[in-house]
Amino acid sequence: MAGEDRSPGTAPRAAAPDETPDLYGAYPRLTPKQIRFLSGHGTRRPVAAGEVLIREGDRGGDFYVILGGSVAITEYYGTSDERLLRLHRQGRFLGELGLLQGQVAFYTAHAREAGEVLVIPVDRLRVLVARDPVLGNLVLRAYLGRRTMLVGAGAGFRILGSRYSSDTRRLREFAARNWLPHRWIDLETDAEAEALLRRFSITPEETPIVIWREEQVLRNPGNAELARLIGLSTPAAADRDHDLLIVGSGPAGIAAAVYGSSDGLATTLVDAFATGGQAGTSSLIENYLGFPSGISGSELAERGVLQARKFGARVRIPAEATSLEPDGGHYRVTFADGTEALGRTVVLATGAHYRRLDVPGIARLEGTSVFYAATVYEARQCGADPVAVVGGGNSAGQASLFLAERVPRVHLLIRGPSLGAGMSRYLVDQIERHPRVNVALDTEVREVRGDDTLRSVVVEHIRTKERRALDACSLFVFIGAEPCTDWLSDVLALDDEGFVLTGAEAEARAAPGVWESQSRGCLRLETSLPGVFAAGDVRSGSVKRVASAAGEGAMAVHHVHDHLGHTTAGLPGPGDDLPAPSGRSAAPGGDPHASATDAHPLHMTGGEGR
């Protein structure tokens, strides 16, 4: 088993006939040495048959190692819908990703046979796995795998709503992007829908609804209400003691949270929607240093957030920032729900969001058959029909290859004359060899056909003006991105494209007197306000790659220390002048990245905050 520490020639004990096999390292068995190590930090106790160790819906809990007997993992425990998910015996441990993140349990674990368990408080577990990298990797890998399996099994809460409802799409996307186990029941086609409506006395007009543990029903909840139900977010802090407030949780924001919290700064990370940003929507990132086999954007984000939490960072999702202003030596950030947070310093990592395709009628199909991400969530909706992908960059290429493993035909539509003009060579080679990817160059989409869902797209050859219809049940769009800076236009100096200026250009466009009172110049990633930094795609002139965004997040924390080490006496106070929105300029040196034209999730960390 991965991560096991055993003597040479000693094989792990085979699973019993009725025990769930160890799939992809999700259900490893601890070695005697690892159990002895953990025993010094926990308590052994007997368990009776039928005793519940983890109850569905309960938050937090303890870390359990099975020393004897067996433990069943079930859904809807004690009801007529009870379903056995897993069965574990001696040497295995319980829990999944939600245990480390403070979320509620999505299952019930109860003793099927009497036995004995080792109980370790979860706070103590976090310390132990940080101290022992082999054990830590074993537990983390298992927990990530278990969360993936829970999502795939449709465990957790249920979303009942129409595929044509924008609120249904919103809830489904929020659950999918935050990797929350759930199952969607389509009001239009699922036979189960009518029975559930009758059971809970709900009319179709009241949908979408969220059903949790067969006893709690939320009628069209907001994202924040669903997050509170699951325990996704840390409650808003009322204190004024944040050393570092990070807005946006893509790779740049997560990296800043890891390095800030590990350096001992009181750190809070907020995001309007989900961790990972645009990178989190990528099914496989193959060019990120240290992952030769690739890693999904969601797993990369989860690993980073767990690191940040391990060092004490607080995470709030959803929390949409709407304003930034100086406040007596701090900066005050106000959120859409009316709450506020104060930080001695702020790192802006709000990234960018994808541009929409300008085609008549496309808006009505967004969420049902027009998508701006290509993950398992979107792929499930494609069925066995052809799809179309628009874009000439790495995101479009990666999406095409991902989808080609799941659908019979992918039409890759590129406006330019060459496949390799904006795409990495390794992707070009794979696309050219793939039998199910059809590349159309010099091509643009002119029309979408279909009433409730897409049936076909009409494309035009740019040079010949010839038009033709392509059968496609879904359209995936990756045509560049725009910065998420609308809420900053009256506060910070931005370039002509709306990206945040930093360094010398920011200092030159700052409000009069802001920098003269400082005992230093504007740092490289610092904005036109001292102590406010920008990292990742939102920054003018940044390189749109995941690795560079993570590097900028780390560098921003270095600048935070530099700023805190100097006097902050000159920090603007309430009512002081701030840069005017007209303070925009072209990106330094005409940097082609500054416009984010044809930006891509493999190269991007966008969508991180708003």
pLDDT exceeds cutoff 50 at 591: no
What is the token pair recorded at 509?
């466009």
CB 602 within 8 A of CB 278: no
CA distance 212 to 226: 10
CA distance 302 to 308: 10
Q: What is the pLDDT of residue 281?
A: 75
Q: What is the pLDDT of residue 567?
A: 53
CB 498 within 8 A of CB 483: yes
Q: Within the chain, how many helices (H) and strands (E) appear?
A: 14, 26
Question: Which of 226-235, 239-248, 435-444, 587-596 has the highest average model confidence (pLDDT)?
Answer: 435-444
Burial class (CB in 10 A: 0-12, 13-18, 19+), 239: exposed
Identify the CA nearest to 347 among candidates 425, 260, 287. 260
| DSSP track, 511-567 | PTTTTTTSSS---TTB-SSTTEEE-GGGBTT----HHHHHHHHHHHHHHHHHHHHS-
Look up the pTM and report it: 0.80
* pLDDT grade for 17, boundaries at 50, 70 and 90: low
Identify the CA nearest to 372 among candidates 385, 358, 357, 386. 357
* Per-residue pLDDT tens digits for 147-200: 989 988 888 999 999 988 889 989 998 998 898 999 999 998 898 999 999 999
Paired sense of beta strands 108-121 and 52-54, if any: antiparallel
Burial class (CB in 10 A: 0-12, 13-18, 19+), 17: exposed
CA angle 544, 304, 280 (to 5 degrees): 50
Question: Is the preceding peptide bond at 208 cis, omega within 30 degrees of 0?
Answer: yes
Q: What is the pLDDT of residue 42?
A: 95
Q: What is the pLDDT of residue 376?
A: 76
CB 73 within 8 A of CB 108: yes
Q: What are phi and psi of 355, to 5 degrees?
A: -70, 145
When pLDDT is averaged across residues 446-471 and rounded to a whole number, the result is 93
* Per-residue pLDDT tens digits for 188-208: 889 899 999 999 999 999 999
Q: What is the pLDDT of residue 80?
A: 82
* pLDDT grade for 88, boundaries at 50, 70 and 90: very high
When pLDDT is averaged across residues 484-502 and rounded to a whole number, the result is 93
Identify the CA nearest to 154 among candidates 220, 85, 97, 201. 85
